[in-house]
Structure 1
């Protein structure tokens, strides 16, 4: 689906993925285990980006290490997207999955 609007000077085209139709859809932010991030870095990232306490961050880091992945936050997609991008920018492997 494309949406185009024209003005006298320019044309804007929005692709379907740019139109945020399910921004309020409940979703989970999942982080996967990897071999290059330290526990301290993961915990610090969870505290700074997700607002988790040190104890929450430690428990999640341990779950990720032992189980291979963990849901670190549940919220509407629109709230999770910037948090996922911030975690990915720090080198973590994170995805958003619909509930």
Structure 2
């Protein structure tokens, strides 16, 4: 049973999270395909998302083996240009 004395504290924490805009954090998802090379995806993530080589390589392997990978988190405003840059390179990407 929950001690009702602590319930207002929980509500207050939720309000703080909402004030910080946590619900606006989205993920830029890159999806696997059968025609883009590893090098192309790696180079695109470096160029568009400003990943370092190691991070881009890891994301590319996750994309290949898991089918998709969240390559960046941020606001819709931050992620849209990155998604557009990735899709302009012929790679499938969505924002969720």
Same fold (TM over 0.5): yes
Superposed CA RMSD: 1.1
Higher strand share: 1
TM-score, normalising length from structure 2?
Answer: 0.75
Rg larger for:
2
TM-score, normalising length from structure 1?
Answer: 0.73
Distance 2:56 2:81 in 1: 19
Distance 2:86 2:56 in 1: 13
**Where does residue 25 of structure 2 map in the other structure?**
26
**Where does residue 12 of structure 1 map in the other structure?**
none
Structure 1, unpaired ranges of 5+: 1-23
Runs of 4+ in 1 over 3 A off after TM superposition: none
Distance 1:96 1:35 in 2: 21
Distance 1:90 1:48 in 2: 11
Higher helix share: 2
Distance 1:41 1:64 in 2: 13
Structure 2, unpaired ranges of 5+: 1-22
CA displacement 1:20-78 (0-9 Å, x = unmatched)? xxxx9210000000001000000000000000000000000000000000000000110
